[in-house]
Amino acid sequence: MNSNKLAIFGGNPLISEPFTTFNTIENEEIEATLNVVKSGVLSAYIGAAGSGFMGGKNVREFEEKAANYFKVDYAIAVNSWTSGLIAAVGAIGIEPGDEIITTPWTMAATSTAILHFNGIPIFADIELDSFNIDPSKVEALITNKTKAIMAVDIFGQSANMKELKKIAKKHSLKIISDTAQAPGALYNKKYAGTLADIGGYSLNYHKHIHCGEGGILVTNDYDLAQRLRMLRNHAEAVIDSNSPNELCNMLGFNFRMGEIEASIASCQLDKLNTRVLSRQIVAANLNEGLSSLKGLKTPRVSDESTHVYYVYGLTLDLDLINTTREKIISALEAEGVPGIMRGYQNLHLLPMFRNKIAYGTSGFPWSSDFCTSNVEYKEGLCPIAEELHSKTFFGLNICMYELDEKDVDLVISSFKKVWESLELL
């Protein structure tokens, strides 16, 4: 059988054995977990003022280690990054109807965290090359209801914080950085996520490091750190103030990380540099092997940034390749290439946003008196994100596999094999 015949047409696939999935759990994590279990203290939190309010030994040690690693004054551990985002929105003190400008090209929790406090998500389009929120689109969306910008460091690279901070300073806005996918990435030699008023990272299972579920909030602001800690742990039971500004949003949650998760997260943080470097090596080899293929654009990294490649993002020039994304992906998958993403997200087109139905059935909070803007979520709102999602973007989930040099060579060979037969697709 012709070895060049595409597998989708009956040829032999180039990748015949599945790649090894990424497993960050090793002996250190097992020993740390056993130590916690043997201690009998799986959580030491108390939802009331006192010595248990800040959690147990492992939580506190992990927070100190994270603050030192990311070079911030305060790190606050939570049970998920979704929890972290909700706490961050509450901590900045938004009022019902306040608007937060964010990107549609992200996981849904970025925007739903805004809704949790009856805020209104406003979606700005993204940059074609970085896939991050486009600062040039943000300023035009600012109204007297705008409270903050929520940037997302998507796929492993920081958003353009220099320009976003200029806008925020000009309009007295807070910045929240959703750096779930970019722990360890640098922006102007500082860690992504640390240049915002509040930032943070995800520790769920398919990230560079993880503890099953978890998150880390980071900030250099003492007052914000205190509010984040209270929101994490039943704020209403511990806040001792009659000030409306201090009581604002102090409807606390149980966002507490357990001792087992904290002990694992601490071991994982020690490995972050190694994990990041391994993905950067894979990406560099992919760049070298794929950059010459007609109509295929490999990831662009800005001069201010490093990239940690949670996702290796690719863009197609459909005019040059004269076929569709779906046909190319189907051909690559037939060759055995794993972990291919078709597009990503367009949150503004999800049914919840298009229909503006969140709390109850009557359109709250958009229908309420405190929502003064005529906000619409519809096609055409973010044309770059929409085009990428529906037609031109696809990604490789390289963070989910432990790819060695042979594996990367097979992926590159599969791409080249498909590109040699583009006219047949």
Tell me what pLDDT residue 158 has. 98
Where residue 1 falls among pLDDT bands split at 50, 70, 90? very low
Give the whole-number percent of the chain exceeding pLDDT 90. Answer: 97
Task: Choose the weakest-confidence range: 148-152, 173-177, 284-288, 367-371.
Answer: 367-371
Q: Is the pLDDT of residue 146 over 70?
A: yes
Domain boundaries, the chain: 7-24+272-344+385-424, 27-271
pLDDT of residue 220: 98
pLDDT surpassing 50 at residue 156 = yes
pLDDT at 379: 97
Q: What pLDDT does 24 receive? A: 87
Return the structure tokens found at 361: 């059935």
**pLDDT at residue 128, rounded to an integer:** 96
Instruction: Find the mean pLDDT for residues 263-282.
Output: 97
Tell whether the model's pLDDT for residue 239 goes beyond 90. Answer: yes
Q: Are 422 and 323 in contact (CB under 8 A)?
A: yes
Query: Do 234 and 254 contact (CB within 8 A), yes or no?
Result: yes
Q: What is the pLDDT of residues 61-105, one digit of tens each?
A: 999 999 999 999 999 999 999 999 999 999 999 999 999 999 999
Could you give the CA distance from residue 100 to residue 89 in angstroms, rounded to a whole number? Answer: 9
Summarize the confidence of residues 131-139 as an average pLDDT.
Answer: 97
Indicate the pLDDT class of residue 373, thresholds 50, 70 and 90. confident
49: exposed, middle or buried (C-beta count within 10 Å: 0-12, 13-18, 19+)? exposed
CATH of domain 7-24+272-344+385-424: 3.90.1150.10
**The predicted structure's pLDDT at residue 214:** 98
Tell me what the pLDDT averaged over the chain comes to: 96
CB neighbours of residue 289 within 10 Å: 17
pLDDT reading at 374 higher than 90: no
Mean pLDDT of 216-233: 98
What is the token pair recorded at 99? Answer: 């608007």
Q: What pLDDT, on a 0 to 100 scale, did the predictor assign at position 318? A: 95
- The CATH class of 27-271 is alpha beta
Sheet holding 296-297, edge to edge: 296-297, 312-316, 393-396, 340-342
Q: Does position 2 have pLDDT exceeding 60, yes or no? A: no
Q: What's the mean pLDDT in 222-232?
A: 97
